[in-house]
Amino acid sequence: MTSVVLYAAGARVAIHHGNLDQAEQDLARAQLLQPQATHALPYYAVQARLELIRAYLALTDVASARTVLREVDDLLRWRPDLGTLPDQTNQLRSQLDHIGTDAIGTASLTIAEQRLLPLLPTHHTFREIGQHLHLSQHTVKSQAMSVYRKLGVSSRGQAIQRARTLGLLAA
């Protein structure tokens, strides 16, 4: 059961070191083990979910953090007597409220979009990018439009600027 907590904490360490692939793998492993740590061990179930929330916050994946927070709230309604965990939950809720719903991070982009993002500043055409990625020009354009939408912009130049501002691209 403690593996869930360890994987969630490992994801935060991987994020800190800039290893997003490892972070995603650790989060996936934690999520697979999560159902096993629900009613049998409620303290660990809540603690594991709090670590997952912290990892999602580090990735600025607000939607996933809120989803897991709802699970924590359900568990705490069932078992409110879990020491300091309700206080930790309230602190994380406060952090989430301050971030807002418009926070963007690499976690909100698909793997394909993350692969495309560093190629946008090259000023290659979508066709050239598609050749490099072994994709059609139309697929690249579709992924780019999705990136623009998620970043809240309407052009390639704005997307590059916004991604740099958010730290998703090097300056």
Which tokens go with 31? 């999520």
pLDDT by residue (tens digit) across 59-95?
Answer: 777 777 888 898 899 889 988 898 999 999 999 998 8
pLDDT by residue (tens digit) across 38-47?
Answer: 666 788 888 8
| 3-class SS of residue 40 | coil
Question: What fold, for 109-165?
Answer: Arc Repressor Mutant, subunit A (1.10.10)
Cβ atoms of 52 and 26 closer than 8 Å: no
Scanning the chain, the segments in alpha helix (DSSP H) are: 2-16, 20-33, 42-58, 62-78, 85-99, 111-116, 126-133, 137-151, 156-165
Other residues' Cβ atoms within 10 Å of the Cβ of residue 125: 12
- The predicted structure's pLDDT at residue 36: 65
The full set of domain ranges for the chain reads 2-99, 109-165
Q: What is the pTM of this model?
A: 0.51
